[in-house]
């Protein structure tokens, strides 16, 4: 029965029965069960990857449904990871599908990715991408990252065993865009998400069956179908300033100055519970911001994304800064 399931796939010369056996022994962790995760996960489960673990803290909302086709209207309000697990288990009962309804953050990332052959960065959040890359570098685990907004996206592999010749993500993306580019701000089309996620899954399968992967950053503009492949085996960026930004969880905060960069209405609705706290909205953060220089700085927001932008702006002060990534 299983031979019938994978027969078309095994006809592909790069797969065959040996490649299929490698997939069956493989373990993949997917961080993010949103747009990218929704498309990549069924492709990996359908292909017969032995274990697929989905991690996401969020619930299904109406605004997800135009692109997150794993979910239905009756799933609104339910945890994405759990719903995805149920749908994927029904797709292929021979695959071990796991779910974790929690945020990935500096305090749990090593535990979440432990034992994985590949980690898929499907969170579309640069702060989390940095955290995943740092952890995968320490564990010599391959990280396949993707991001998409409007109709543009990229796919790239990072870290892994040094013999693969893959850089860490920070070397290729030493700076994040200085303005928010997430899909809830600039928009995204469903087919663009599906296309990028399919390529992310393809890169994963290629690595799992061949144990090799090309060190290239693949960029796609899906409105006019332009494709660019950039060799990243020797990243151009040698400035280590980006390494002055580290990521921490709330339990790390002691006496540091926490700088909340959220908007005023967000702060009023959900204040942070730290005693040493300063509120400066992101649009007011710049190299001239009046922040006490005699204290250690930790930037904070809802997801870590705006805090990372703020921290990046303040690197001109020549000091290490930290970004708080929520754990709940």
All residues at 6 or more sequence positions from 183 whose CB lies less than 8 Å from its CB, including other chains? 35, 124, 148, 149
- Buried/exposed 278-292: b ≥16 CB within 10 Å, e otherwise: bbbbbeebeeeeebe
Express each pLDDT in 265-313 by its tens digit: 999 999 998 989 999 999 898 876 788 888 889 999 988 889 999 998 8
What pLDDT, on a 0 to 100 scale, did the predictor assign at position 254? 86
**What is the C-alpha to C-alpha distance for residues 273 and 271, in angstroms, rounded to an integer?**
6
pLDDT of residue 2: 61
pLDDT-derived band at 182 (thresholds 50, 70, 90) equals: low
**Lowest-confidence range among 82-96, 130-144, 250-264, 283-297?**
283-297
Confidence of residue 181 (pLDDT cuts 50, 70, 90): low
Chain-centre distance for alpha carbon 246: 16
Question: Is pLDDT at 238 greater than 60 in this prediction?
Answer: no
Model confidence band, residue 248 (pLDDT cutoffs 50, 70, 90): very high
Task: Give the mean pLDDT of 75-94.
Answer: 96
Q: What is the pLDDT of residue 183?
A: 64
**Structural domains in the chain plus CATH codes:** 2-231 (3.40.50.720), 240-324 (3.40.250.10)
Portion of the chain with pLDDT greater than 90, in percent: 72
Q: How many CB atoms lie within 10 A of CB 60?
A: 24
What pLDDT sits at residue 290? 80
Instruction: Check residue 327 and give its pLDDT.
Output: 78
Question: Is the pLDDT score of 190 beyond 80?
Answer: yes
- Of the chain, the percentage scoring pLDDT greater than 70 comes to 93
Confidence bin at 180 (pLDDT 50/70/90): low
- Report the distance separating Cα 310 and Cα 299, nearest Å: 7
pLDDT: is 319 or 148 the higher one? 148
- Three-state SS at 245: strand
* pLDDT at res. 63: 92
Least confident of 42-51, 162-171, 189-198, 290-299: 290-299
Average pLDDT over residues 70-86: 96
Query: What per-residue confidence (pLDDT) applies to 230?
Result: 94
C-alpha span between 30 and 141 (Å, rounded)? 13
pTM of the complete model = 0.92
Starting at the earlier edge strand, list the strands of the sheet with 321-324: 245-248, 321-324, 297-300, 257-260, 277-279
Q: What is the distance between the alpha carbons of residues 80 and 84, in angstroms, rounded to a whole number?
A: 6
pLDDT of 242 strictly over 70: no
Mean pLDDT of the chain: 91
């Amino acid at each position: 029965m299983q031979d019938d399931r994978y027969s078309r796939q095994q006809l592909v010369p790069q797969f065959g029965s040996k490649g299929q056996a490698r997939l069956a022994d493989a373990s993949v962790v997917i961080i993010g069960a949103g747009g990218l995760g929704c498309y990549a996960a069924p492709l990996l489960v359908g292909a017969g990857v032995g274990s697929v673990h989905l991690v996401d803290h969020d619930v299904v909302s109406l605004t997800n449904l135009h692109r997150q086709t794993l979910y239905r209207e009756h799933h609104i309000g339910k945890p994405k990871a759990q719903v995805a697990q149920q749908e994927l288990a029904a797709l292929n009962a021979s695959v071990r599908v796991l779910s974790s309804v929690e945020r990935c953050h500096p305090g749990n990332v090593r535990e979440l990715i432990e034992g994985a052959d590949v980690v898929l960065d499907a969170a579309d959040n640069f702060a989390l991408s940095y955290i995943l890359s740092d952890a995968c570098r320490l564990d010599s685990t391959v990280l396949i990252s993707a991001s998409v907004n409007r109709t543009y996206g990229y796919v790239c592999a990072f870290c892994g065993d040094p013999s693969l010749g893959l850089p860490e993500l920070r070397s290729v993306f030493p700076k994040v865009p200085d303005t928010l580019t997430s899909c809830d701000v600039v928009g995204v089309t469903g087919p663009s998400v599906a296309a990028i996620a399919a390529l992310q899954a393809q890169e994963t399968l290629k690595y799992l069956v061949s144990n090799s992967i090309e060190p290239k950053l693949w960029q796609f503009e899906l409105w006019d179908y332009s494709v660019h492949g950039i060799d990243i085996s020797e990243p151009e960026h040698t400035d280590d300033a980006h390494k002055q930004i580290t990521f921490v969880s709330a339990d790390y905060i002691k006496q540091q100055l926490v700088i909340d960069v959220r908007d005023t209405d967000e702060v009023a609705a959900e204040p942070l519970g730290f005693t040493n706290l300063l509120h400066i909205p992101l649009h007011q953060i710049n190299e001239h911001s009046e922040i006490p220089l005699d204290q250690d700085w930790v930037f904070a927001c809802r997801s870590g994304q705006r805090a990372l932008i703020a921290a990046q702006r303040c690197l001109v002060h020549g000091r290490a800064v930290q970004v708080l990534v929520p754990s709940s």
